[in-house]
Amino acid sequence: MDNYEAIQALHKSLPAFSPYVSASLLPPIALILLTSTFALAFYFSTLPKDTFPLRETAVASIASVLGGFGVVALFCSVGVNV
């Protein structure tokens, strides 16, 4: 029980959590990331088909990463903390 009390005292002495990105910035970040994802998806759909799809792979990968971070920012902005 002594260990639990020590951990509880340590917990009470620590500062409160403060996120790196303010919660008020999450909706604009989500909007920018998801808008650029849709723009890149449109660009990807209009690319000519190459025999070696390096440009297609790069555009699709960037759009996927932006979409992933955009969805996480959108979830966090509406209160679903992931």
Q: Tell me: the pLDDT tens digits for 2-59?
A: 789 899 999 999 998 888 888 899 999 999 999 999 999 898 888 787 777 888 889 8
Contacts of residue 40, defined as CB under 8 A and 6 or more positions apart, other chains included, come to 59, 62, 63, 66
- Whole-model pTM? 0.75
Burial 46-67 (b: 16+ CB within 10 A, else e): eeeeeeeeeeeeebeeebeebb
